Structure 1
Amino acid sequence: MCIVSVIVPVYNTEAYLSVCLQSLMGQTLCDMEFIIVDDGSTDGSVEIMDDFAHRDTRFKIIRQANQGLGNARNVGLKMACGKYVAFVDSDDWVIYKAYERLVSEAEKYQTDILMADLVYLYENGKKINPFKRKDETVFQEVLVGRECFLELSRQHVFNPMVVVYLYRREFIDQHHFHFAPVFHEDALWSPVLVCSALRMKVIDFNFYGYRQHNDSITHSKNPARYNSLLYVADKLYEYMQQNFTEDKDWELRYWFYDHLVWIYRFAQSLYNCEKTNLKK
């Protein structure tokens, strides 16, 4: 067993992949593995992956036909042997010594989930952190996951993106967590895992560079995204109905409804955009 397994799904990101993998190669923890899941790439990504695997034995390449981001992450989870698991998207990057800091904090506080932060990177050079905590008391102690979800939701800064979390792998395995094979799978995965954690710590650490570009899934025009969002919303509602049943859970239900409203509005915007395109 190693200390951290970093799972990186790759699908046709040759323009960004070298920067991503170089940022992983430069990590100072030697006891790591980088599980690179080639999800049917047809561009130069294949050669880039192979080059890094040749230069650094921490890189492990898994190849499969294209099955989507959620499936690729699940494949990586099955292969992971680290005490902790992290995820990186292949068009992003992490800062120097990122995992040394994350693991140190996770070990210190014995967390199921450690949450850090990211910076949005725009092609014009602009950088922003849309999830900056307004009340820094959330950094001060270890919280039960439900309490952490509530506190971040109250501040409107709950980040569903899987890349900002470091997970204890045993926690994932015990609950048999896996990604849904749909778009926007993070929006389902993150609230459920956070609300299931017994020990969660949030730290003030911007370690992840999240690229904003027109080729990303977030900005894609794939009509399947609409149905995926409806699927995610249905599953979140189902989870809420099964797990927040007591009177004391009223605020958890409130913020889950708030999350559902956001998902439905997003889905409606995609639907309206698709109708406009069809008319054109």
Structure 2
Amino acid sequence: MVAVSICMPVYNVGRYLNQCLESISQQTFRDFEVIMVDNGSTDNSFEICQAYTSEDNRFKLYRQEKEGVAAARNTCLKYMKGEYVAWIDSDDWVDRDYLEKLVKTQKETNADIVCIGNKTYMNNQIYLGSHQNKYATYPKCEIPKKDAIGDVFFGMLSLISLWGCLIRKSLYRGFIFSEDNRYDDQGNKFKLYLQANKIIGIPEVAYTYRVREKSITQSNTKLMKFLEEQTTNLEKLIYYVEIANYETSYFYHRYLDWLNKKLAEETVKNDIECQNYLKRRLRLLEIRMDSNC
């Protein structure tokens, strides 16, 4: 069995793809496979992936009609054979010792999920956040499950993205990415944290996330659509913690804080439709909280 399956949906990223794949091929840790799923690209992305498969048998390529990134992720899950899973977005790149640091920490701690800090590349500049420093504030850098799941609301720990971590494959047993909106990280990763017994954060940075104008998460969308997708994901989380009977009061109040914060934003204040929508979500949450007291 290969140690790590690197899973990567690919769609029209020919401009960035070589940098991403080259950063993977140069990893100091060598026991990995790369599962690339081309999601109906219309540029030269498929051909670039083909070139890597012909040069290195660890790179494996599959193609499907354009069905959305979550569908491509589900195809990745179908073919991965590694003991651990690492997602890398096809327009990002990683440091040469990225996998080495993740695998070494996993072996030392026996963690189910190991996360590492990330840099942001935007407007030809690299920016460092402070989230990775917060990992060291936890004893032995072990992040409580409640904090990891709760990061979905405000992202202070930068833990909700699928990339930037190593996850034990067994956590994916029975796991399917829901395809109901574009924010598939937010709507799915918390399920993995719910199953994890040990979560470690490495207080270093080794993953570079590229912000580009036409990426899915950066594309222009109406505020109402954005709020609908976000609340769908957060209420999905609420449903899961209710089923698991896990810290429901804590997550009710986190969602309550999130809704109130959104209502206080200027863009929402100037949009009656969005105000009314969020107020309806608030009323429904309050009913839910009362019924589960």
Q: Partner amino acid for 1:250?
A: S
Secondary structure, counterpart of 2:137 in structure 1: helix
How far the C-alpha of 1:254 sits from its partner, in A, is 2.6
Q: Partner amino acid for 1:236?
A: L
Work out whether residues 132 and 202 of structure 2, in 8 Å CA contact, stay in contact via their aligned partners in 1: no
In the other structure, the counterpart of 1:29 is 29
Work out whether residues 244 and 252 of structure 1, in 8 Å CA contact, stay in contact via their aligned partners in 2: no
In the other structure, the counterpart of 1:251 is 250
> Greater CA deviation, 116-125 or 79-88?
116-125
Q: State the distance in 2 between where 1:263 and 1:11 align.
A: 32
Structure 1 residues 107 and 192, CA gap change in structure 2 (3 angstroms): same
Structure 1 residues 24 and 179, CA gap change in structure 2 (3 angstroms): same
In the other structure, the counterpart of 2:215 is 216
Deviations 1:124-183 (A, max 9, x none): 31413263444732262545523554699899334311102210001221xx22211121
Secondary structure, counterpart of 2:217 in structure 1: helix
How far the C-alpha of 1:252 sits from its partner, in A, is 4.1
Work out whether residues 138 and 151 of structure 1, in 8 Å CA contact, stay in contact via their aligned partners in 2: no
Structure 1 residues 143 and 117, CA gap change in structure 2 (3 angstroms): closer
Q: Partner amino acid for 1:185?
A: D
Matches within 5 A, 1:37-52: 37-52=37-52
Secondary structure, counterpart of 2:7 in structure 1: strand
> Greater CA deviation, 186-195 or 143-152?
143-152
Work out whether residues 238 and 252 of structure 2, in 8 Å CA contact, stay in contact via their aligned partners in 1: no
Structure 1 residues 8 and 264, CA gap change in structure 2 (3 angstroms): farther
Percent of aligned positions with the same letter in both sequences? 28
> Greater CA deviation, 161-170 or 218-227?
218-227
Q: Partner amino acid for 2:238?
A: Y
Secondary structure, counterpart of 1:137 in structure 2: coil
Structure 1 residues 68 and 130, CA gap change in structure 2 (3 angstroms): farther
Deviations 1:7-35 (A, max 9, x none): 01000011100100101111122221000
Q: Does 1:234 align with 2:235?
A: yes
Work out whether residues 115 and 159 of structure 2, in 8 Å CA contact, stay in contact via their aligned partners in 1: no
Q: State the distance in 2 between where 1:116 and 1:265 align.
A: 32
Structure 1 residues 236 and 148, CA gap change in structure 2 (3 angstroms): closer
Structure 1 residues 139 and 34, CA gap change in structure 2 (3 angstroms): farther
Matches within 5 A, 1:1-280: 1-129=1-129, 131-134=131-134, 136-138=136-138, 140-146=140-146, 148-149=148-149, 156-173=156-173, 176-181=174-179, 182-222=181-221, 225=226, 227-244=228-245, 250-258=249-257
Q: State the distance in 2 between where 1:31 and 1:135 align.
A: 27
Secondary structure, counterpart of 2:101 in structure 1: helix
Q: State the distance in 1 between where 2:264 and 2:59 align.
A: 40
Q: State the distance in 1 between where 2:262 and 2:81 align.
A: 34
How far the C-alpha of 1:231 sits from its partner, in A, is 2.5
Give unpaired runs (5+ residues) of structure 2.
275-293
TM-score of the aligned structures, taking structure 2 as reference length = 0.80
Structure 1 residues 265 and 191, CA gap change in structure 2 (3 angstroms): farther
Q: State the distance in 2 between where 1:226 and 1:184 align.
A: 11
How far the C-alpha of 1:206 sits from its partner, in A, is 0.7
Structural RMSD (CA): 3.0
Give unpaired runs (5+ residues) of structure 1.
276-280
How far the C-alpha of 1:261 sits from its partner, in A, is 6.0
Deviations 1:239-274 (A, max 9, x none): 2332346xx6533443354456678889x86x96x9
How far the C-alpha of 1:119 sits from its partner, in A, is 0.6
Deviations 1:206-254 (A, max 9, x none): 1110011101111112566554334313312212332346xx6533443
How many equivalent pairs are there?
268
Secondary structure, counterpart of 2:23 in structure 1: helix
Secondary structure, counterpart of 2:220 in structure 1: coil
Secondary structure, counterpart of 1:218 in structure 2: coil
In the other structure, the counterpart of 1:278 is none
